Amino acid sequence: MTVHFSCTQCGKCCHDLRLTLSAEEAAVWAGNGHTVQILSEALPVVPGAADADDPGIVRSFAAMSGEMPIRIAATLVAYHDGACPHLLPDMRCGNYAARPRICRIYPLDRLAGVRFDTQAKVCPPEAWEESHPPLIDGARIFDPEAVAVLAAHRDTARREVPLMAALCRKLGIGAAAFAGEGLAVHTPEPAALLDALHELPCGLAAPDGPASWTIVTNRAATFAMLAGAGCDAGIVARDAEYLGSFPDEPGDMSG
């Protein structure tokens, strides 16, 4: 079904969102004194799913958790609590010419293979009226400029996977949320992040990562499943360092 869209300039997408950045964009964002975080999730290794075009494989690097081979997807994001530091009082972007690619493609999905869902977007209902120009129909995106920007965003993310593996190791990041349940949030010291981003060349061969990544969850059943499979598993609660999709469970699960 064709989804129609026209931006209402409401500014909601410029509030309280984490904007996916390339390494180059992250260096600029952090260099301007704004907060850059790294989100991480651990994907199980599915036997036989070695397809180079598999979206999960494309965006992740190989690692270990305890005895289990896993894959880690790590993403640089701009974080702002409230309004983006570039948002002007009239809801226009004060960084329009140099805004990150992700700002140019919203509300399209950055990841390939995701079913477009207007309910998952922050745009108001009037942005989706059928009288507006067509935005997307299945996999077809109507605006050629958006197609080009999205392709560049995805291509850059794909090329930077080895860099992300090296960056995590350099910054001592070794915890990831169980994929599909949430995201682990890491907020490196800005100076350390900038140094690492400037130091690490793109195209670096993927390192093994830390000796063992810890897979964190706030669900007892997931923790038991991971621990039973030989993973290094940890229990966490939803907070600034764990964006869980499920509510915390009652009781002390730490034991």
Q: Which of 4, 34, 99, 110 binds ligand SF4 (CB under 6 A)?
A: 99
State which of positions 101-120 bind ligand SF4 (CB under 6 A). 103, 106-107
Query: At which residue do the structure tokens 């034991």 appear?
Result: 255
Q: Which of 62, 87, 194, 204 binds ligand SF4 (CB under 6 A)?
A: 87
242 CB-near residues (< 8 Å, 6+ apart): 177, 182, 183, 184, 185, 216, 218, 236
Question: 135 and 5 in contact (C-beta within 8 Å)?
Answer: yes
State which of positions 1-30 bind ligand SF4 (CB under 6 A). 7-14, 19
Q: Which of 62, 64, 111, 123 binds ligand SF4 (CB under 6 A)?
A: 123
Task: Check residue 238 for interaction with ligand SF4 (CB under 6 A).
Answer: no
Q: Which residue, 101 or 169, is less far from ligand SF4 as judged by CB? A: 101
DSSP letters, the chain, are: -EEE-------GGGBS-EEEE-HHHHHHHHHTT-EEEEEEEEEEPPTT---TT-HHHHT-EEEEETTEEEEEEEEEEEE-SSB-TTB-TTS-BTTGGG--HHHHHTTS-SSTTPPP-GGGS-S-GGGG-TTSPEEEETTEES-HHHHHHHHHHHHHHHHTHHHHHHHHHHHT--EEEETTTEEEEE---HHHHHHHHHHSPTTPPP---SS-PEEEES-HHHHHHHHHTT--EEE--SBTTEEESSPPPSS----
Q: Measured between alpha carbons, how far is 249 from 229 in angstroms, rounded to an integer?
A: 22
Q: Which of 93, 152, 204, 253 binds ligand SF4 (CB under 6 A)?
A: 93
Q: Measured between alpha carbons, how far is 5 from 26 in angstroms, rounded to an integer?
A: 29
Task: Check residue 86 for interaction with ligand SF4 (CB under 6 A).
Answer: yes
Stretch that binds ligand SF4, among 39-47, 122-130, 144-152, 213-221 (CB under 6 A): 122-130
Taking the complex as a whole, the smallest distance from the CB of residue 131 to ligand SF4 amounts, in Å, to 15
Q: Which residue, 35 or 212, is less far from ligand SF4 as judged by CB? A: 35
Taking the complex as a whole, the smallest distance from the CB of residue 135 to ligand SF4 amounts, in Å, to 11
Taking the complex as a whole, the smallest distance from the CB of residue 117 to ligand SF4 amounts, in Å, to 14
Task: Check residue 253 for interaction with ligand SF4 (CB under 6 A).
Answer: no
Taking the complex as a whole, the smallest distance from the CB of residue 3 to ligand SF4 amounts, in Å, to 13
Q: Which of 122, 149, 152, 229 binds ligand SF4 (CB under 6 A)?
A: 122
Task: Check residue 161 for interaction with ligand SF4 (CB under 6 A).
Answer: no
Q: Which residue, 129 or 249, is less far from ligand SF4 as judged by CB? A: 129
Q: Which residues bind ligand SF4 (CB under 6 A)?
A: 7-14, 19, 84, 86-87, 93, 95, 99, 103, 106-107, 122-123, 127
